[in-house]
A and B are shown apart, each in its own frame.
Chain A
Amino acid sequence: MSVKVKVSFIQEKHEDLEKGHDYLVALAGNPNTGKSTVFNQLTGLKQHVGNWPGKTVVRAEGTLEYQGNRYKLIDLPGTYSLLSNAVDEEIARNFILFGHPEVVILVVDSTCLERNLNLVLQVLEISDHVVVCLNLMDEAAKKGIEIDVNQLSRDLGVPVIPTIANKGEGLKELIESVAKVASGRTHTRPHHFSLEPEISNAVEKVTPYLEKLVENIPNSRWITLFLLEGDARIRETLETGELARRAHVNKKVVKPKTSELKELYRLIEETSSSIQEPIHDYVVTSIYADAESIASRAIQRSESSSKHDFDAKIDKIITSRKFGFPIMTLFLIGLFWITIVGANVPSQLLADGLFLIEEHLASVFKSLEAPLWLEGFVIHGVYRGLAWVVSVMLPPMAIFFPLFTILEDVGFLPRVAFNLDRLFQWSGAHGKQAITMCMGFGCNAAGVISCRSISSPRERVIAILTNNFVPCNGRWPTLILMATMFVAGIVPAKTSSLFAAVILAIITLVGIFATFFVSALLSKTLLKGENSFFMLEMPSYRRPQFLPVLYRSFIERTIKVLYRAVVVAAPAGGIIWILGNVYIGSNSLMTILAGSLSSIGRLIGLDGMILLAFIIALPANEIIIPTIIMGYTGASVMTEIASLAELQALFVANGFTIVTAVCLMLFSVLHFPCGTVTYTIWKETRSLKWTILSNLIPLTVAFIACFIVAQLAYLIGFV
């Protein structure tokens, strides 16, 4: 179902229609309007999620069938406006301008109509085929806002359909209206905002020239407005001939002549110099003036509102000086607790099941009389590595991500960012980094991807490079094991589990401190620059949709984890098996390599085997402990030792002390990201420099931290 888009939006549309779609429908709207809910409700499970060509912005598309016609729905990125140059807005703008959608559905938050009308009026300027979906009608009612839908529809000149998308209300009417507009049965007369005479005169003057330069250019007035504003991207598309190509259906690039371009620019220069204030100001002022009058005609607001009070009360507690941080901390601890405890049983079941399969596989190999090395490599190496990762990783992720998504949908996470922003401001980073860090606790690769929500490139790179300092689900088992086995061993048994939890919290705090420290360091050195403009919309609290959330985050994560296990962990399992089973003289490769790493390892409080485990477990942090055990026992396969006492005895026999345990925990939290995360960073930044630095920085930090701890411990004669 994936559509490769290489050349242009036009071509893409033709491919779509070839695939049997009758109409192309774009879904636009402000962020937090329930746009994705509308999209999910309309398309159901017939979705494909990819990226916009050349951009790291998610592109979701789906199919809707209605009365024998197939509609292709494209979910555009949520934007406040089409007038700015942020990547999201550019994508939305280009698609509406040049993608030739038959219908644009504008999803509008009816609780703040005026602000949403800003975007609506802009879209009405460039597209005639618009249906406004007036969503969140129930929230508006709770807030005491009543909207006269007919009046609004008359004023905008397009159909307006009230909906409550998460309850499915009004969607039938929406589809019907879309179908009518698509087939031309509904005739629209979109409202056009009135520009100041100064600006409209300028536009009148330049437009004919542009129309001469690029024949049949759609929305020439609007494009002229962008040119007058000095929009660099539009200029670029004009100069390269891209604009002309998008305007025509033919795919040939015809560059405009330099002399003609010069003439156009001269004209623009001349006209815009007579306008004093920035043109953007004029345009936005005109739009908002219209939005205000349209909204005031449509809205009948009643004063009392229980919902508003309810939100305010909760916010007062969640953001208070007294309770703000404790509540956030409790929520996060609760999230981890449910994840870790809840994952125990399914993890065990999965492991049992997968190892049962292993036995069967082994007997198949035996009956085929396959050579022993092949059986070892495939079953004890590749299959076991895979099984290990799946059983350790899958259950916590399947629990963590739905819970996380629910916290996000409820509106809790923006409050976390709100409470913590100042810390990030001090380290030159963005408040939303708090959310990407929370995501990182589940999986750093997911955390890195979630950094897309940070629009400033500088702050986004900071968030990406430091995400690894929060320990992910794959590292929790190692940390918990070390905390319970060694550190808690020094206190009485009664308090040991509590003490282990405290140790875990401290280690996590160290990771968080490293995040702030490295963020600050980066924004002082490599990523110097002013803090970008920070704004955070705090949506109303909403009841989450449990089923879609469960379905989406569970299925998507499950498939991703399985895929990752196959692609990444399986070969690692194979390599580990080879290292443990290829002998030079009387020593296995593993022993030899560990020996050569031994002196560096000791320097930072570890040993050669642990360091080797960190290196060969690069693809997946989950297999670090099994690899260490394999190395210590000299076994030829990764194994688990059931009893904690037995395991502790093995570790102590190999020279483990409290210092080793502490350094191992520190190294685990601070060290270089796993292979999947590194690959994700490369995909997200497309920069070799940042990808390398994302490994070098944590490695350096981990070395220094462990070195200091180990040497101090040796110095004071602790061990």
Chain B
Amino acid sequence: MFVYPNNIYIYLTIVKLCEVVTGMNSREISLQNEKEQEVLAGIGIGERARILELQFKGAHRRRLLDLGLLPGTEVIAVMKSPLGSPIAYAIRGSLIALRREDTSKIIVKRENEKLKGE
């Protein structure tokens, strides 16, 4: 249960505190990949992309494949968590939330057409 303030800053403070405690800043880690190739993490809300490659091995790769995230699959970024990550994607008719640190390892090709109403 959280106290009820009218803005988000108290939560962001908690985020910041956790960041200090863990010494981790996932934004820095996750964006490294985006400069070279287009990754799923870089796709904006309402945009479409086609999966090219999964830079995963072993169990993670299997999980993604089982969900239907195969090379060639079309994905739409549907909504973003208030804290920026995870992002929910429409994948083969279902809505699946993935973390930024994972989607930054999924290489995609952006499909330019923007969906109406989303």
Taking Cβ atoms with an 8 Å cutoff, the residues of A that contact B are 80-81, 83-85, 109, 111-115, 118, 278, 280-281, 284-285, 288, 309, 312, 315-316, 319-322, 324-326, 328-330, 332-333, 336, 418-423, 425-428, 431, 441, 502, 505-506, 508-509, 512-513, 516-517, 520-521, 523-524, 531, 533-540
- B residues 8-32 in Cβ contact with A at 8 Å: 8, 11, 14-15, 17-19, 21-22, 24, 26
Task: Find out whether the CB atom of B65 lies under 8 angstroms from the CB atom of A281.
Answer: yes
Taking Cβ atoms with an 8 Å cutoff, the residues of B that contact A are 1-6, 8, 11, 14-15, 17-19, 21-22, 24, 26, 56, 59-68, 70, 78-86, 88, 91-99, 101-102, 117-118
Q: How far is the CB of B118 from chain A (nearest CB, A)?
A: 7
A288-B68, A520-B18 known; A333 vs B4 contact (CB < 8 Å): yes
Name the one of A115, A326, A421, A502 contacting B91, with C-beta atoms under 8 angstroms: A115
Task: Find out whether the CB atom of B1 lies under 8 angstroms from the CB atom of A418.
Answer: no
Task: Find out whether the CB atom of B63 lies under 8 angstroms from the CB atom of A422.
Answer: no
Q: How far is the CB of A471 from chain B (nearest CB, A)?
A: 9
Q: Which residues of A contact B85 (CB under 8 A)?
A: 421-422, 425
The CA-CA distance from A427 to B21 in the complex, in Å, is 8
Q: Which residues of A contact B88 (CB under 8 A)?
A: 315, 418, 538
Task: Find out whether the CB atom of A538 lies under 8 angstroms from the CB atom of B1.
Answer: no
List 10 A-B pairs, minimum CB-CB distance, nearest first: A112-B93, A422-B83, A81-B66, A426-B18, A324-B82, A536-B97, A112-B94, A284-B65, A538-B95, A533-B60
The CA-CA distance from A319 to B84 in the complex, in Å, is 10
The CA-CA distance from A505 to B14 in the complex, in Å, is 15
Task: Find out whether the CB atom of B15 lies under 8 angstroms from the CB atom of A422.
Answer: yes
Task: Find out whether the CB atom of A284 lies under 8 angstroms from the CB atom of B26.
Answer: no
The CA-CA distance from A323 to B79 in the complex, in Å, is 14
Task: Find out whether the CB atom of B94 lies under 8 angstroms from the CB atom of A533.
Answer: no
The CA-CA distance from A524 to B21 in the complex, in Å, is 10
Task: Find out whether the CB atom of B99 lies under 8 angstroms from the CB atom of A534.
Answer: yes
Task: Find out whether the CB atom of A85 lies under 8 angstroms from the CB atom of B59.
Answer: yes
Q: Which residues of A contact B70 (CB under 8 A)?
A: 284-285, 288
Task: Find out whether the CB atom of A83 lies under 8 angstroms from the CB atom of B62.
Answer: yes
A112-B94, A319-B82, A537-B95 known; A423 vs B15 contact (CB < 8 Å): yes
Task: Find out whether the CB atom of A533 lies under 8 angstroms from the CB atom of B92.
Answer: no
B5, B67, B97, B117 — most chain A CB neighbours (10 Å)? B97
Q: Which residues of A contact B14 (CB under 8 A)?
A: 423, 513, 516
Add 14 more A-B contacts to A329-B1, A428-B22 (CB < 8 A). A115-B93, A280-B61, A281-B61, A284-B70, A328-B2, A329-B2, A418-B86, A425-B85, A425-B101, A427-B18, A520-B21, A533-B102, A538-B88, A539-B95
Q: How far is the CB of B90 from chain A (nearest CB, A)?
A: 9
Name the one of A81, A85, A517 contacting B21, with C-beta atoms under 8 angstroms: A517
Task: Find out whether the CB atom of A426 lies under 8 angstroms from the CB atom of B66.
Answer: no
Task: Find out whether the CB atom of A113 lies under 8 angstroms from the CB atom of B82.
Answer: no
Q: Which residues of A contact B15 (CB under 8 A)?
A: 422-423, 426
Task: Find out whether the CB atom of A421 lies under 8 angstroms from the CB atom of B81.
Answer: yes
24 interchain pairs, CB-CB under 8 A: A84-B66, A278-B61, A280-B61, A284-B65, A315-B78, A324-B82, A326-B5, A333-B1, A421-B83, A421-B86, A427-B18, A441-B1, A508-B1, A513-B17, A516-B14, A516-B21, A533-B56, A533-B64, A533-B102, A534-B97, A535-B67, A535-B97, A538-B88, A538-B95
The CA-CA distance from A609 to B88 in the complex, in Å, is 52
A288-B68, A329-B3, A418-B86 known; A534 vs B102 contact (CB < 8 Å): yes
Q: How far is the CB of A600 from chain B (nearest CB, A)?
A: 29
Task: Find out whether the CB atom of A312 lies under 8 angstroms from the CB atom of B78.
Answer: yes
Q: Which residues of A contact B3 (CB under 8 A)?
A: 329, 502, 505-506, 509
Q: Which residues of A contact B8 (CB under 8 A)?
A: 321-322, 325
The CA-CA distance from A280 to B64 in the complex, in Å, is 11
Q: How far is the CB of A577 from chain B (nearest CB, A)?
A: 36
Q: How far is the CB of B66 from chain A (nearest CB, A)?
A: 4
Q: Which residues of B contact A113 (CB under 8 A)?
A: 93
The CA-CA distance from A150 to B76 in the complex, in Å, is 31
Q: Which residues of B contact A523 (CB under 8 A)?
A: 22
Task: Find out whether the CB atom of A115 lies under 8 angstroms from the CB atom of B68.
Answer: yes
The CA-CA distance from A508 to B1 in the complex, in Å, is 7
The CA-CA distance from A502 to B92 in the complex, in Å, is 45
Determine the residue in chain B with the shortest Cβ distance to A80: B66
The CA-CA distance from A670 to B15 in the complex, in Å, is 21
Task: Find out whether the CB atom of A538 lies under 8 angstroms from the CB atom of B82.
Answer: no
The CA-CA distance from A157 to B63 in the complex, in Å, is 27
Task: Find out whether the CB atom of A319 lies under 8 angstroms from the CB atom of B2.
Answer: no
The CA-CA distance from A111 to B90 in the complex, in Å, is 12
The CA-CA distance from A693 to B118 in the complex, in Å, is 47
Q: How far is the CB of A80 from chain B (nearest CB, A)?
A: 5
Q: Which residues of B contact A533 (CB under 8 A)?
A: 56, 59-60, 63-64, 102
Q: Which residues of B contact A319 (CB under 8 A)?
A: 79-82
Determine the residue in chain A with the shortest Cβ distance to B11: A325
Q: Which residues of B contact A333 (CB under 8 A)?
A: 1, 4
A84-B66, A113-B93, A535-B96 known; A332 vs B1 contact (CB < 8 Å): yes
Q: Which residues of A contact B92 (CB under 8 A)?
A: 112, 114-115
The CA-CA distance from A180 to B96 in the complex, in Å, is 37
Task: Find out whether the CB atom of A509 lies under 8 angstroms from the CB atom of B86.
Answer: no
Task: Find out whether the CB atom of B94 lies under 8 angstroms from the CB atom of A426.
Answer: no
B60, B92, B93, B101 — most chain A CB neighbours (10 Å)? B93
Q: How far is the CB of B46 from chain A (nearest CB, A)?
A: 11
Q: Which residues of A contact B117 (CB under 8 A)?
A: 309, 312
Q: How far is the CB of B26 from chain A (nearest CB, A)?
A: 6
Q: How far is the CB of A260 from chain B (nearest CB, A)?
A: 29
Q: How far is the CB of B59 from chain A (nearest CB, A)?
A: 7
The CA-CA distance from A535 to B65 in the complex, in Å, is 12
Q: Which residues of B contact A80 (CB under 8 A)?
A: 66-67
Task: Find out whether the CB atom of B68 lies under 8 angstroms from the CB atom of A118.
Answer: yes
The CA-CA distance from A41 to B18 in the complex, in Å, is 45
Q: How far is the CB of A195 from chain B (nearest CB, A)?
A: 15
Q: Which residues of B contact A112 (CB under 8 A)?
A: 92-94
Determine the residue in chain A with the shortest Cβ distance to B14: A423
Determine the residue in chain A with the shortest Cβ distance to B68: A115
Q: How far is the CB of B14 from chain A (nearest CB, A)?
A: 6
The CA-CA distance from A81 to B59 in the complex, in Å, is 13
Task: Find out whether the CB atom of B22 lies under 8 angstroms from the CB atom of A520.
Answer: yes
Determine the residue in chain A with the shortest Cβ distance to B18: A426
Task: Find out whether the CB atom of B96 lies under 8 angstroms from the CB atom of A426.
Answer: no
A112, A281, A426 — most chain B CB neighbours (10 Å)? A426
The CA-CA distance from A324 to B15 in the complex, in Å, is 15
Task: Find out whether the CB atom of A325 lies under 8 angstroms from the CB atom of B96.
Answer: no
A84-B59, A115-B94, A312-B118 known; A423 vs B4 contact (CB < 8 Å): no
Determine the residue in chain B with the shortest Cβ distance to A533: B60
Q: Which residues of A contact B60 (CB under 8 A)?
A: 533
Task: Find out whether the CB atom of A418 lies under 8 angstroms from the CB atom of B81.
Answer: yes
Task: Find out whether the CB atom of A316 lies under 8 angstroms from the CB atom of B2.
Answer: no
Q: Which residues of B contact A316 (CB under 8 A)?
A: 79
Q: How far is the CB of A281 from chain B (nearest CB, A)?
A: 7
Task: Find out whether the CB atom of B4 lies under 8 angstroms from the CB atom of A524.
Answer: no
Q: Which residues of B contact A83 (CB under 8 A)?
A: 62, 66
The CA-CA distance from A506 to B2 in the complex, in Å, is 8
Task: Find out whether the CB atom of A419 lies under 8 angstroms from the CB atom of B61.
Answer: no
The CA-CA distance from A506 to B62 in the complex, in Å, is 43
Q: Which residues of A contact B66 (CB under 8 A)?
A: 80-81, 83-84, 118, 284
Q: Which residues of A contact B11 (CB under 8 A)?
A: 325, 423
Q: How far is the CB of A295 from chain B (nearest CB, A)?
A: 9
Q: Which residues of A contact B118 (CB under 8 A)?
A: 312
